[in-house]
Amino acid sequence: MNQFDHALEQLARATAVQSFDPALIRKISSPEREVRVTIPVVMDDGATRLFEGYRVQHSSVRGPYKGGIRFHADADIHEVRALAFWMTLKCAVANIPMGGGKGGITVDPKELSAGELERLSRGFVRMLYPVLGPKVDVPAPDVNTTPEIMSWMVDEYATLTGDTTGAAFTGKPLGKGGSEGRALATGLGGFYVFEALKDKLGVPQSSRVVVQGMGNVGGNAAKLFQQHGHTVIAISDSKSAIVKDDGLDIAAVEAYKKEHKTLVGFPGARSISNEELLELSCDVLIPAALEHQVTHVNATRIQAKVILELANGPTTPEADDVLFANGVVVVPDILANAGGVVVSSFEWEQNLKNEHWTEQVVFEKLQTLISTEANTVWERAHALHTDLRRAAFIVALERLGVH
């Protein structure tokens, strides 16, 4: 099953609980537009290398396409199509006036110099700018794409089109039209969703938390949970994972990783595999890396009470069934990680209105919005006697259907 099959299977499961107009379901099952580009980049040695890139514009029913751009060696059209589909549903669950899109380049950015990375980022925009723009399609960062990459992209877009709003890309650095709070937004949004549902989830006031992935989303989420009195017992990156039963100091773990380029050897912690990390006994498991991490292979061994999906698509449909049967509550990605796109939409709005909101205003708006929607999804799941993923899909489909 590729990721898009996985997404369509989730859709089928939701529509088995509540039926919808078949025309809506057919429409939502196919992206409105897919663009595949070949980007020539002059490398530092003078040779030209070709990179494959994608932009999938899934749905503009509720507003301009919105979604990140991923730089990853495994990025392909199926993955980008699935991520675009989930963006459409996520923006609808979050109730923001945005559609869904996603982009990707098949590249391991760690193999490129800074100059090559900039030329690749600008090249992506040169190939795609006719189908991007503040009222058309507004990309953002995702795995391996940073505020600096967004600033190259928005700059290239301005050069090519004369746009002065800066609203064609979000996730920009603060000095380049970025929003206060954007860097923290996905982790913080996930934390607000957890806080809104905490009493209903039946987890202790001070929970034991495991985080897979230590990038923008996982690193910030781990710090937030720690700051609010929870104990982060384990964390990982793509090559290493560590566990410490009495809790990790995440800022110290980040400093250690910066110096040693690995988590292995962090004082007082034991090294484990990424597979073992997922199966640790804990209250909350936070996948914050890539898709397909909890599958039919390991679902029966998951000991967490709650899975808070900050990555996109970390749990397969088969695993969902096992987890539901075992009483593990999965807070789905299209709700749990919506904080990023919510604050991206705030950034877009500020750019268009030429405003700059304080961090406090951004966080208050985020918390109000995402807590409301978390409760909407929870109540719908209870009313329909179903899981939170099916309920979130149903809430999204209802909102897509009225447009």
Among all residues, which ones are annotated catalytic? 102
Q: Report the distance separating Cα 401 and Cα 403, nearest Å.
A: 6
Binding mask 226-265 for ligand NAD (x = CB under 6 A): ----------xxx---------------------------
Point out which span in 39-47, 55-63, 73-81, 214-222 binds ligand NAD (CB under 6 A): 214-222
Indicate the SS3 state at residue 171.
Answer: coil
Whether 63 and 99 have beta carbons less than 8 Å apart is answered as: yes
Secondary structure letter of residue 136 according to DSSP: T
Task: Check if the beta carbon of residue 40 is closer than 8 Å to that of residue 116.
Answer: no
Structural tokens at position 28: 């939502």
Q: Does 367 bind ligand NAD (CB under 6 A)?
A: no
Query: What are the residues whose beta carbons fall under 8 Å from the beta carbon of 283, sequence distance 6 or more?
Result: 203, 204, 207, 208, 209, 304, 305, 306
Residue 312 lies near ligand NAD (rule: CB under 6 A): yes
149 is a contact residue toward ligand NAD (CB under 6 A):
no
Per CB under 6 A, 288 contacts ligand NAD: yes
Q: Which of 106, 144, 170, 315 binds ligand NAD (CB under 6 A)?
A: 144
Nearer to ligand NAD, 15 or 177 (CB): 177
In our burial notation (b when 16+ CB lie closer than 10 A, e otherwise), range 149-171 reads bbbbbbbbbbeeeebebbbbbbb
User: Measured from the CB atom, is 239 or 382 closer to ligand NAD?
Assistant: 239
**Phi/psi class of residue 202: alpha, beta or left (left: φ > 0; alpha: ψ in -120 to 50)?**
left
Identify which of 272, 288, 290, 302 has the alpha carbon closest to the alpha carbon of residue 224: 288
125 or 289: whose CB is closer to ligand NAD?
A: 289
Closest approach of Cβ 2 to ligand NAD, in Å? Answer: 16
Angle (CA) 114 118 122, round 5°:
175
Output phi, psi for 367, to 5 deg: -65, -45
Quick one: which of 56, 211, 286, 289 contacts ligand NAD (CB under 6 A)? 289
Helix (H) or strand (E) holding 277: helix 274-278
**Interface of this chain with ligand NAD, residues 36 to 75, rule: CB under 6 A:** none
For residue 220, the minimal CB distance to ligand NAD (Å) is 8
In the complex, what is the shortest distance from the CB of residue 100 to ligand NAD, in angstroms, rounded to a whole number?
A: 12
* Residue in 67, 147, 213, 317 binding ligand NAD, rule: CB under 6 A: 213
Q: Report CA 390 to chain centroid distance, whole Å.
A: 18
> In the bound complex, what is the minimum distance in angstroms from residue 54's beta carbon to ligand NAD?
15
Binding of residue 31 to ligand NAD (CB under 6 A):
no
Applying the rule CB under 6 A, the residues between 159 and 178 that interact with ligand NAD are none
Among 231, 337, 350, 386, binds ligand NAD (CB under 6 A): 337
Q: For the CB of residue 243, give the shortest distance to ligand NAD in the complex, in Å.
A: 14
Q: Coil, strand or helix: which one is 188? A: helix
Number of residues that bind ligand NAD (CB under 6 A): 24
Q: Which residue is nearest to ligand NAD (CB)?
A: 215
Measured distance CA(34)–CA(79) in Å, rounded: 12
- List residues binding ligand NAD (CB under 6 A): 141-144, 186, 212-218, 236-238, 274, 288-290, 310-312, 337, 340
